[in-house]
Protein backbone atom coordinates (compact mmCIF):
# COMPACT_ATOMS: atom_id res chain seq x y z
CA UNK A 1 0.00 0.00 0.00
CA UNK A 2 1.84 3.02 -1.27
CA UNK A 3 1.83 6.15 0.84
CA UNK A 4 0.72 9.59 -0.24
CA UNK A 5 2.40 10.26 -3.58
CA UNK A 6 3.30 13.75 -4.65
CA UNK A 7 4.85 14.81 -7.89
CA UNK A 8 6.95 16.36 -9.02
CA UNK A 9 9.38 16.33 -6.07
CA UNK A 10 11.05 19.48 -7.34
CA UNK A 11 9.60 22.11 -9.64
CA UNK A 12 11.29 25.19 -11.01
CA UNK A 13 9.18 27.90 -12.60
CA UNK A 14 9.95 31.36 -13.90
CA UNK A 15 7.96 34.28 -12.57
CA UNK A 16 4.60 34.47 -14.30
CA UNK A 17 4.40 30.80 -15.22
CA UNK A 18 1.91 28.29 -13.85
CA UNK A 19 2.75 25.56 -11.36
CA UNK A 20 0.73 22.36 -11.05
CA UNK A 21 1.33 20.12 -8.07
CA UNK A 22 -0.19 16.66 -7.92
CA UNK A 23 -1.17 14.50 -4.99
CA UNK A 24 -2.40 10.92 -5.05
CA UNK A 25 -3.83 9.99 -1.66
CA UNK A 26 -3.34 6.65 -0.01
CA UNK A 27 -5.61 3.91 -1.27
CA UNK A 28 -9.02 4.18 0.31
CA UNK A 29 -8.51 7.75 1.49
CA UNK A 30 -11.06 10.28 0.35
CA UNK A 31 -9.86 13.32 2.30
CA UNK A 32 -6.98 15.46 1.03
CA UNK A 33 -5.26 18.40 2.71
CA UNK A 34 -2.68 20.80 1.31
CA UNK A 35 -0.14 22.60 3.49
CA UNK A 36 2.64 25.05 2.63
CA UNK A 37 5.97 25.24 4.42
CA UNK A 38 8.18 28.27 4.00
CA UNK A 39 11.90 27.83 4.77
CA UNK A 40 12.58 27.48 8.51
CA UNK A 41 8.86 27.68 9.33
CA UNK A 42 6.06 25.36 10.31
CA UNK A 43 3.39 24.10 7.99
CA UNK A 44 0.44 26.33 7.22
CA UNK A 45 -2.93 24.88 6.23
CA UNK A 46 -4.15 25.83 2.78
CA UNK A 47 -7.15 23.75 1.75
CA UNK A 48 -9.12 20.61 2.61
CA UNK A 49 -10.95 18.65 -0.09
CA UNK A 50 -13.07 15.56 -0.40
CA UNK A 51 -13.85 13.96 -3.72
CA UNK A 52 -15.17 16.70 -6.02
CA UNK A 53 -15.72 19.11 -3.13
CA UNK A 54 -13.75 21.87 -1.43
CA UNK A 55 -14.58 21.66 2.26
CA UNK A 56 -12.34 24.36 3.74
CA UNK A 57 -10.19 26.78 1.75
CA UNK A 58 -9.63 29.26 4.53
CA UNK A 59 -5.85 29.08 4.14
CA UNK A 60 -5.73 29.63 0.40
CA UNK A 61 -4.57 32.98 -0.93
CA UNK A 62 -7.49 34.76 -2.56
CA UNK A 63 -5.85 35.06 -5.94
CA UNK A 64 -3.80 32.81 -8.23
CA UNK A 65 -4.26 29.65 -6.12
CA UNK A 66 -6.81 26.93 -6.75
CA UNK A 67 -7.26 23.29 -5.81
CA UNK A 68 -9.33 20.40 -7.01
CA UNK A 69 -9.85 16.74 -6.19
CA UNK A 70 -11.77 15.19 -9.09
CA UNK A 71 -13.76 11.98 -8.95
CA UNK A 72 -11.00 10.26 -10.88
CA UNK A 73 -7.32 11.10 -10.62
CA UNK A 74 -5.09 12.99 -8.22
CA UNK A 75 -5.72 16.19 -6.35
CA UNK A 76 -4.18 19.21 -8.06
CA UNK A 77 -2.91 22.40 -6.48
CA UNK A 78 -2.57 25.05 -9.16
CA UNK A 79 -0.67 28.30 -8.80
CA UNK A 80 -1.05 30.77 -11.63
CA UNK A 81 1.41 33.54 -12.45
CA UNK A 82 3.89 32.43 -9.81
CA UNK A 83 5.95 34.97 -7.89
CA UNK A 84 9.15 34.48 -5.88
CA UNK A 85 7.17 34.48 -2.64
CA UNK A 86 5.47 31.27 -3.76
CA UNK A 87 8.77 29.41 -3.39
CA UNK A 88 8.12 26.86 -0.66
CA UNK A 89 7.56 23.18 0.04
CA UNK A 90 3.98 22.12 -0.57
CA UNK A 91 2.78 19.06 1.31
CA UNK A 92 -0.28 16.98 0.71
CA UNK A 93 -1.85 14.73 3.33
CA UNK A 94 -4.68 12.26 3.14
CA UNK A 95 -6.96 10.51 5.57
CA UNK A 96 -9.76 8.04 5.66
CA UNK A 97 -13.16 8.83 7.10
CA UNK A 98 -12.07 7.33 10.43
CA UNK A 99 -8.82 9.32 10.51
CA UNK A 100 -10.60 12.54 9.74
CA UNK A 101 -12.30 12.55 13.11
CA UNK A 102 -9.06 13.16 14.88
CA UNK A 103 -6.54 10.40 14.66
CA UNK A 104 -4.00 12.04 12.43
CA UNK A 105 -3.25 11.76 8.79
CA UNK A 106 -0.38 10.83 6.49
CA UNK A 107 1.77 13.35 4.68
CA UNK A 108 3.51 12.92 1.36
CA UNK A 109 7.14 13.88 0.79
CA UNK A 110 6.21 17.22 -0.69
CA UNK A 111 6.88 19.26 -3.81
CA UNK A 112 9.58 21.87 -3.53
CA UNK A 113 8.68 24.80 -5.73
CA UNK A 114 11.37 27.28 -6.68
CA UNK A 115 10.40 30.41 -8.58
CA UNK A 116 13.27 32.08 -10.43
CA UNK B 1 -6.72 32.64 18.33
CA UNK B 2 -5.41 29.75 16.26
CA UNK B 3 -1.71 30.16 17.04
CA UNK B 4 0.51 27.47 18.53
CA UNK B 5 3.81 28.72 19.92
CA UNK B 6 6.76 26.33 20.08
CA UNK B 7 10.10 26.63 21.83
CA UNK B 8 13.04 26.40 21.60
CA UNK B 9 13.74 26.93 17.91
CA UNK B 10 16.77 24.68 18.13
CA UNK B 11 18.25 22.27 20.60
CA UNK B 12 21.56 20.45 20.92
CA UNK B 13 21.71 17.45 23.22
CA UNK B 14 24.32 14.80 23.90
CA UNK B 15 23.59 11.19 23.08
CA UNK B 16 21.71 9.65 25.98
CA UNK B 17 20.37 12.99 27.17
CA UNK B 18 16.81 14.27 27.35
CA UNK B 19 15.35 16.58 24.70
CA UNK B 20 12.45 18.75 25.85
CA UNK B 21 10.28 20.79 23.50
CA UNK B 22 7.45 22.99 24.70
CA UNK B 23 4.28 24.26 23.04
CA UNK B 24 1.55 26.63 24.14
CA UNK B 25 -1.83 27.26 22.58
CA UNK B 26 -4.64 29.76 23.05
CA UNK B 27 -7.70 28.22 21.44
CA UNK B 28 -9.55 26.26 24.14
CA UNK B 29 -11.48 24.41 21.43
CA UNK B 30 -8.35 22.44 20.52
CA UNK B 31 -8.70 18.86 21.66
CA UNK B 32 -6.12 16.88 19.72
CA UNK B 33 -2.39 17.51 20.04
CA UNK B 34 -0.03 15.54 17.79
CA UNK B 35 3.72 15.78 17.41
CA UNK B 36 5.37 15.32 14.04
CA UNK B 37 8.96 14.45 13.18
CA UNK B 38 10.44 15.69 9.92
CA UNK B 39 13.74 14.73 8.34
CA UNK B 40 15.32 16.91 5.63
CA UNK B 41 13.61 16.45 2.30
CA UNK B 42 10.78 14.42 3.78
CA UNK B 43 7.23 15.04 4.84
CA UNK B 44 6.23 15.22 8.51
CA UNK B 45 5.54 11.87 10.12
CA UNK B 46 3.20 11.45 13.08
CA UNK B 47 5.22 10.59 16.18
CA UNK B 48 2.80 10.62 19.08
CA UNK B 49 -0.45 12.38 19.97
CA UNK B 50 -2.53 13.18 23.03
CA UNK B 51 -6.05 14.28 23.90
CA UNK B 52 -6.78 16.63 26.82
CA UNK B 53 -8.48 13.94 28.92
CA UNK B 54 -5.05 12.58 29.92
CA UNK B 55 -2.04 14.41 31.35
CA UNK B 56 0.67 12.17 29.97
CA UNK B 57 1.22 9.66 27.20
CA UNK B 58 4.31 7.57 26.65
CA UNK B 59 5.38 5.61 23.60
CA UNK B 60 8.84 4.12 23.85
CA UNK B 61 11.34 6.92 24.42
CA UNK B 62 8.80 9.63 23.57
CA UNK B 63 6.49 11.18 26.18
CA UNK B 64 3.91 13.93 25.86
CA UNK B 65 3.02 15.90 29.00
CA UNK B 66 -0.19 17.93 28.84
CA UNK B 67 -1.30 20.76 31.15
CA UNK B 68 -4.83 21.73 30.24
CA UNK B 69 -5.16 24.62 32.71
CA UNK B 70 -1.94 26.22 31.48
CA UNK B 71 -2.74 25.38 27.84
CA UNK B 72 0.68 23.90 27.40
CA UNK B 73 2.08 20.58 26.25
CA UNK B 74 5.55 19.25 25.82
CA UNK B 75 7.51 16.45 24.16
CA UNK B 76 10.25 14.65 26.03
CA UNK B 77 12.69 12.46 24.14
CA UNK B 78 14.46 10.20 26.60
CA UNK B 79 17.87 8.62 25.90
CA UNK B 80 18.25 10.78 22.77
CA UNK B 81 20.03 9.11 19.85
CA UNK B 82 21.77 10.60 16.79
CA UNK B 83 18.97 9.14 14.67
CA UNK B 84 16.54 11.41 16.53
CA UNK B 85 18.21 14.44 14.90
CA UNK B 86 15.31 16.03 13.02
CA UNK B 87 12.85 18.89 13.17
CA UNK B 88 9.92 18.38 15.51
CA UNK B 89 6.59 20.13 15.16
CA UNK B 90 3.77 20.30 17.65
CA UNK B 91 0.28 20.81 16.30
CA UNK B 92 -3.29 21.17 17.48
CA UNK B 93 -6.73 20.70 16.05
CA UNK B 94 -10.34 20.58 17.04
CA UNK B 95 -12.34 17.36 16.92
CA UNK B 96 -15.46 19.38 16.22
CA UNK B 97 -13.95 21.41 13.40
CA UNK B 98 -14.70 20.13 9.94
CA UNK B 99 -11.79 18.32 8.42
CA UNK B 100 -9.40 18.12 11.36
CA UNK B 101 -7.32 21.07 10.17
CA UNK B 102 -3.98 21.16 11.97
CA UNK B 103 -2.38 24.32 13.33
CA UNK B 104 1.39 23.81 13.59
CA UNK B 105 4.02 25.32 15.83
CA UNK B 106 7.11 26.83 14.23
CA UNK B 107 9.27 23.74 14.75
CA UNK B 108 12.32 22.77 16.81
CA UNK B 109 15.48 21.57 15.14
CA UNK B 110 17.05 18.92 17.35
CA UNK B 111 20.66 17.84 16.97
CA UNK B 112 21.85 14.87 18.99
CA UNK B 113 25.62 14.74 19.28
CA UNK B 114 27.25 11.32 19.49
**Average pLDDT in chain B:** 92
Nearest to A70 by CA among A88, A53, A94: A53
Q: Do A42 and B93 touch (CB under 8 A)?
A: no
- Using an 8 Å CB-CB cutoff, list chain A residues near B2: none
- Using an 8 Å CB-CB cutoff, list chain B residues near A48: 98-99, 101
B37 to chain A: nearest residue by CA?
A107
User: In this structure, are residues A13 and A75 in contact, taking their beta carbons and an 8 Å threshold?
Assistant: no
B32 to chain A: nearest residue by CA?
A102
- Distance between A112 CA and the closest CA of chain B, angstroms: 9
Residue-level pLDDT at A1:
53
Tell me the average confidence (pLDDT) per consecutive run of 10 residues in chain A, 116 residues long. Answer: 89 98 92 91 91 91 95 95 96 78 77 97
What's the Cα-to-Cα distance from B42 to each of A87, B37, B86, rounded to whole Å? 17, 10, 10
Q: pLDDT tens digit string along B15-32?
A: 999 999 999 999 888 888
List the Cα angle B37/B42/B48 in 5-degree steps: 20
Cβ within 8 Å of residue A16, ≥6 positions away: A81, A82
> Across the interface, which of A102, A109, A110 has its CB nearest the CB of B100?
A102
- Using an 8 Å CB-CB cutoff, list chain B residues near A103: 49
- Dihedrals phi, psi of B82, to nearest 5 degrees: -55, -35
- CB of A31 less than 8 A from some CB of B: yes
Q: pLDDT tens digit string along B79-104?
A: 999 999 999 999 998 866 656 788 99
| pLDDT over 90 at B72, yes or no | yes
> Across the interface, which of A42, A100, A103 has its CB nearest the CB of B99?
A100
> Across the interface, which of B34, B104, B106 has its CB nearest the CB of A104?
B34
Q: Do A48 and B93 touch (CB under 8 A)?
A: no
- Using an 8 Å CB-CB cutoff, list chain A residues near B108: none
Amino acid sequence: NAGVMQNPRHLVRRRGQEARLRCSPMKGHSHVYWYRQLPEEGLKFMVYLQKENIIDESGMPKERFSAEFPKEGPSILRIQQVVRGDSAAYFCASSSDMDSIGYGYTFGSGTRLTVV
Amino acid sequence: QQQVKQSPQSLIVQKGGISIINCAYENTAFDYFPWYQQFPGKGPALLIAIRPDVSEKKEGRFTISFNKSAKQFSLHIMDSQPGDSATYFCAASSYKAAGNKLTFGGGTRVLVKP
